[in-house]
Amino acid sequence: MQALFPQFTQFDPLTGTIEGAPSLERHLSDLRGYFADQTAYQAAFTQEDALLYTVTNVEPAQGDGALHYGISYLLPGRVGREYYMTKGHFHAWRPAAEYYIGLRGAGLLLFEDEQGHSWSTPITPNSGVYVPGHTAHRTVNTGPEPLVFLGIYPFNAGHDYGTIQERNFSQVVVDVNGQPTVMERSAFLRTLTQI
């Protein structure tokens, strides 16, 4: 049998890193057009191209039945009233499911299927969330500390970012009187234009 490398990995739930695996960084500039409040986005970006999250993926094997996995480290913060979040994606191979395990912090997973139905679940340490196939998923940090979680998926799941980049999620997670609140994007946009 072909040896798998790395078969054993040590990860750090505090920093969201995996020993020996490279991390990629996503900054505000990578999420241009994703946040609902464009004025707030521009104001934040003018100040600093802040780091929003890191992703550290491990790809131990390819081929039928193989699994890949990664840790994401999503910083706390907001653009306007909308909490820091990941880009979100469908899997390029639509039937691919994924399993998320919360390691640190508190947040929400936003889901949206291809028919546009949306829902959300919490993600917290020692909780797991099953992401079904054919469903776009985005993670949102609603707490005061980094949100760290592990995601495990079929090796050939792939990331389709284009669909979300075009149409975005129909729901947003925003601060309403200090409470993280899931709202329709259109309703949130109306609150921004009210004087």
Nearer to Zn ion, 41 or 111 (CB): 111
Q: Report which DSSP code applies to 3.
A: P
Q: How far apart (Å, rounded) are the C-alpha atoms in residues 160 and 162?
A: 6
Least Å distance, CB 48 to Zn ion, is 28
- 172 CB neighbour count, 10 Å cutoff: 24
Q: Does 112 bind Zn ion (CB under 5 A)?
A: no
Nearer to Zn ion, 37 or 98 (CB): 98
Please choose which of ligand M6P, Zn ion, none residue 180 contacts, taking the beta carbon within 5 to 8 angstroms, the exact cut-off set by kind: none
Burial 6-31 (b: 16+ CB within 10 A, else e): eeeeebebeebbbeebebeebebeeb
Residues lying near ligand M6P in the complex (CB under 6 A) are found at 55, 70, 72, 86-89, 98, 151, 159
Kindly tell me which residue out of 53, 56, 73, 98 binds Zn ion, with binding defined by CB under 5 A: 98
Nearer to ligand M6P, 72 or 120 (CB): 72
Q: How far apart (Å, rounded) are the C-alpha atoms in residues 135 and 112?
A: 6
Amino acid (1-letter code) at residue 87? K
Please choose which of Zn ion, ligand M6P, none residue 134 contacts, taking the beta carbon within 5 to 8 angstroms, the exact cut-off set by kind: none
Q: How many CA atoms lie within 13 A of 62 on its CB side?
A: 1
Least Å distance, CB 158 to ligand M6P, is 9
Binding site for Zn ion (CB under 5 A): 98
